[in-house]
């Protein structure tokens, strides 16, 4: 069974997805005039802009939406995924993780802006994502349903088994706790949150995500500073292995590209079609605001947190030890700061991965609602999520990662085709945003600025002036 899954995985990634990811990332970068770099400062401004922090009477704030998507991004991919990339692709895999983040920033901007443009109102505020812009932008509900089914299975079930598997490995190694006991405990904690809805999810992750990311980064900075003289050698190691100039641990240039792109996409999700589901929930005055903030999430995930893990591993001798996954990260950090590091990483991976379980669950929930708003179906999904969390804690490492790669690849291909067909809508929205900013305005979006506003439910004149939405925000923050 595993050999068959590996064959499917190789076909999807080796022959199709890597080329599509890199080429479309470059294409979107050119079409947006490299928005991921030119608007870097604007991304930070928007995070602290009062009009994006204050949510309307319904919905969640832009910062909360950022935290939900970052909760999904920041997980096992940042600690275990980076370690796996180095193990099988060599140090050069990190270079390709960086590249997929730089180019993927543009893809993330396109998909998240589209999610905002085509979002709809619901009882909690707003929802949207690839399924919605496939139905409303491409006028293809069947494709939207296919995507909704795949993302529900991929994130809610398969990816959550990866998260629980990594937590289980870390705690089993550090505290000698039975994987089955860990699985039951994780399922119980997950149940307490996922039956509370998007508001509870948002409140949890907006606290957990910043705290865990800052704590881990501070530790990584300490490791880098205390090994400062070795940094040039680490960069040289990464670059030389990236292009096959030296023999990588797991192979040459091909292995570095394959595992770097795979683990980079698993970690930052740029272009995969997952983060747009969170982006659509934000109460903002212009879709581009959330597009920019979600692009910042890609950089936060890969260029900061993944790089931190890579330096911790490569500044040690652990990456040649034969250890895999989260155990390699634990071993590397222990070499730097002592045996207590293993326990620290176990706690860190719990926070990283558990927040991902919460974020992943929501992606499935909103897509089930897209197919049909049915409480029975939603509760069946919730039970299935809990079951996969328990299964992942005792499953084989290779099996769960292979399943994750396959479904991630299929999902990304469908979404990339959709945003390639719709990218002009996001580019037009960016032009509108840029023009309003040049005039000194806080940009407010109207669907009439687009060439084809059909299929856009929310951004009409009445909605933008609705006191529960933009006007409410403006009263809250005051005039600019």
- In terms of residues, how long is the chain? 480
For residue 459, tell me if it sits in a domain.
no
d(CA 470, CA 333) in angstroms, rounded, equals 47
Other CB atoms closer than 10 Å to residue 428's CB: what's the count?
16
For residue 455, tell me if it sits in a domain.
no
One-character DSSP codes across 260-308: HHHHHHHHH-TTTSSHHHHHTTB--SSHHHHHHHHHHHHHIIIIIIIHH
pLDDT tens track for 335-391 = 888 888 778 778 877 877 887 888 788 888 888 988 988 889 999 999 999 999 999
Instruction: For residue 164, give the CATH number of its domain.
Output: 1.20.1740.10
Q: How many domains does the chain have?
A: 1
For residue 472, tell me if it sits in a domain.
no
For residue 265, tell me if it sits in a domain.
yes
Helix (H) or strand (E) holding 127: strand 125-127
pTM of structure: 0.83
For residue 333, tell me if it sits in a domain.
yes
Closest CA to 42 of 392, 436, 358, 409: 436
pLDDT tens track for 194-237 = 876 656 666 666 666 667 767 777 888 888 888 889 989 999 98
d(CA 118, CA 419) in angstroms, rounded, equals 12
Rg (CA), the chain: 21
Q: What is the pLDDT of residue 462?
A: 56
- The model's confidence at residue 175, banded by pLDDT at 50, 70 and 90, is confident
For residue 177, tell me if it sits in a domain.
yes
Residue 313 sits in which domain range?
A: 2-446
In percent, how much of the chain has pLDDT > 90?
27
In the structure encoding, which two tokens stand for residue 348, read together?
Answer: 């860190």
d(CA 362, CA 204) in angstroms, rounded, equals 13
Identify the three-state secondary structure at position 480.
coil
For residue 469, tell me if it sits in a domain.
no
Question: How far from the centroid of its chain's Cα atoms is residue 338's Cα?
Answer: 31
For residue 458, tell me if it sits in a domain.
no
d(CA 63, CA 273) in angstroms, rounded, equals 19
In sequence order, the β-bridge partners of residue 248 are 251
CA distances from 222 to 226, 326, 333 (A): 6, 20, 11
């Amino acid at each position: 069974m595993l050999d068959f899954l590996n064959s499917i995985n190789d076909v999807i990634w080796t022959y199709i997805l890597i080329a599509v990811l890199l080429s479309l990332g470059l294409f979107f970068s050119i079409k947006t005039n490299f928005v991921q770099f030119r608007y870097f400062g604007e991304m930070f401004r928007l995070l602290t802009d009062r009009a994006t922090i204050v949510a309307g009477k319904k919905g969640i704030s832009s910062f909360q939406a950022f935290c939900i998507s970052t909760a999904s991004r920041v997980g096992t991919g940042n600690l275990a995924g980076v370690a796996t990339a180095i193990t099988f692709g060599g140090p050069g895999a990190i270079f390709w993780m960086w590249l997929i983040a730089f180019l993927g920033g543009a893809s993330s901007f396109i998909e998240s802006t589209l999610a905002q443009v085509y979002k709809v109102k619901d009882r909690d505020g707003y929802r949207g994502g690839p399924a919605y812009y496939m139905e409303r932008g491409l006028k293809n509900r069947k494709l939207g349903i296919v995507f909704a089914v795949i993302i529900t299975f991929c994130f809610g079930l398969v990816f959550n088994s990866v998260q629980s598997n990594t937590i289980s490995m870390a705690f089993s190694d550090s505290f000698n706790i039975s994987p089955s006991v860990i699985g039951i405990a994780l399922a119980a904690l997950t149940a307490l949150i996922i039956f509370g809805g998007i508001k509870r999810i948002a409140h949890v992750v907006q606290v957990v995500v910043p705290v865990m990311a800052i704590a881990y980064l501070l530790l990584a900075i300490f490791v880098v500073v205390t090994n400062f003289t070795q940094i040039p050698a680490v960069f040289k190691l990464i670059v030389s292995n990236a292009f096959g100039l030296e023999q990588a641990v797991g192979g040459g240039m091909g292995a570095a590209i394959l595992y770097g792109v795979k683990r980079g996409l698993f970690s930052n999700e740029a272009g995969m079609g997952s983060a747009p589901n969170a982006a659509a929930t934000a109460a903002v005055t212009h879709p581009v605001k959330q597009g920019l903030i979600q692009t910042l999430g890609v950089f936060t995930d890969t260029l900061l947190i993944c790089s931190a893990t890579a330096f911790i591993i490569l500044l040690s001798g652990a990456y040649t030890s034969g250890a895999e996954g989260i155990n390699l990260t634990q071993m590397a950090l222990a070499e730097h700061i002592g045996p207590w590091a293993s326990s620290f990483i176990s706690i860190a991976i719990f926070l990283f991965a558990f927040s991902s379980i919460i974020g992943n669950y929501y992606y499935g929930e909103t897509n089930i609602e897209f197919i049909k708003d049915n409480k029975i179906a939603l509760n069946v999904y919730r039970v299935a999520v809990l079951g996969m969390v328990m299964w992942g804690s005792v499953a084989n490492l290779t099996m769960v990662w292979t399943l994750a790669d396959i479904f991630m690849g299929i999902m990304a291909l469908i979404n990339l085709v959709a945003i390639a067909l719709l990218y002009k809508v996001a580019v037009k929205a960016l032009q509108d945003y840029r023009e309003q900013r040049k005039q000194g305005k806080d940009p407010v979006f109207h669907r009439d600025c687009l060439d084809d506003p059909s299929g856009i439910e929310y951004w009409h004149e009445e909605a933008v002036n609705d006191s529960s939405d933009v006007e409410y925000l403006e009263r809250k923050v005051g005039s600019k």
